[in-house]
Amino acid sequence: MNSLITKIVYRPPFGHNERDTDRQDLVYQFSISTGSRSYDSKWLHAYTLQLPTDLWLAICPPAATKANKMAAKKLGTPDFPIVTLDTSLIPRLPASYPTLFEGKKKKNLSFETIAAELGRSEVSVAAIFYGQAQASEADIQKLSTLLDIDQKLLADQLYGIPDRGRTLDMPPKEPLIYRLFEIVQNYGYAYKAVLNEKFGDGIMSAISFSTKVEKETDEKGDWAVITLRGKWLPYSRF
């Protein structure tokens, strides 16, 4: 099949390299021609393309090793710093907080890399590190191996129900976190009005919920994209 390929046009979204093939969750545009058939797509998630396996491998060869991917990001440099232990938070957070962050620093790993190993989102993994989300047994096993932390110690520290909400003062003092507070302060009632018009009387769940952070780049610079996805819960009538 590969020998029959006559043309491949492969274009990823803004902010990603042309050979960023390890990210099949991204959206790509393909135009592929072979000796017998053409495959043309509009913007589609890569994994939705119904292509023969060997043709797919010609477009997206196997991803680079984790070591190569980490090296390419130059983690631990001023341009790509990793988040490490903030000692001022230790009194507010569980014992697992310094344990996990010390392992993260020692291995020089980003949350993106750790999340890929655990098969979870970056935000959910970061929430585990800050004691705001529950770690499964599989999470603990993988974290122990990845961060070179004794599994029994980590299990003792992570088993149990998180005591959420202890990390922040309100209003927040940290500038980036304050911006998120400011967004709700400025647009909270606007969000509420639009949500009520679309869904009726209710609330958006923060329990049946997911969130993610993405980076977009265009000619005007870098943009942070935060997605919040929560189940709509109507108020009960009684």
Residues marked as catalytic = 179, 182, 205
d(CA 89, CA 104): 16
Nearest of 7, 9, 47 to residue 27 by alpha carbon: 47
Question: 2, exposed or middle or buried, with CB in 10 Å at 0-12, 13-18, 19+?
Answer: exposed
Tell me whether the omega of the peptide bond preceding residue 171 falls within 30 degrees of 0, making it cis: yes
Residue labelled with tokens 């969000």: 191
Nearest of 129, 212, 70 to residue 140 by alpha carbon: 129
Chain center to CA of 179: 20
- Burial code (b: 16+ CB inside 10 Å, e: under 16) for 160-174 equals eebeeeeeeeeeeee
Give residues with Cβ within 8 angstroms of 85, minimum separation 6: 97, 98, 101, 102, 105
- Cα angle, residue 217 at apex, residues 215 and 218 outer, rounded to 5°: 155
d(CA 234, CA 231): 10
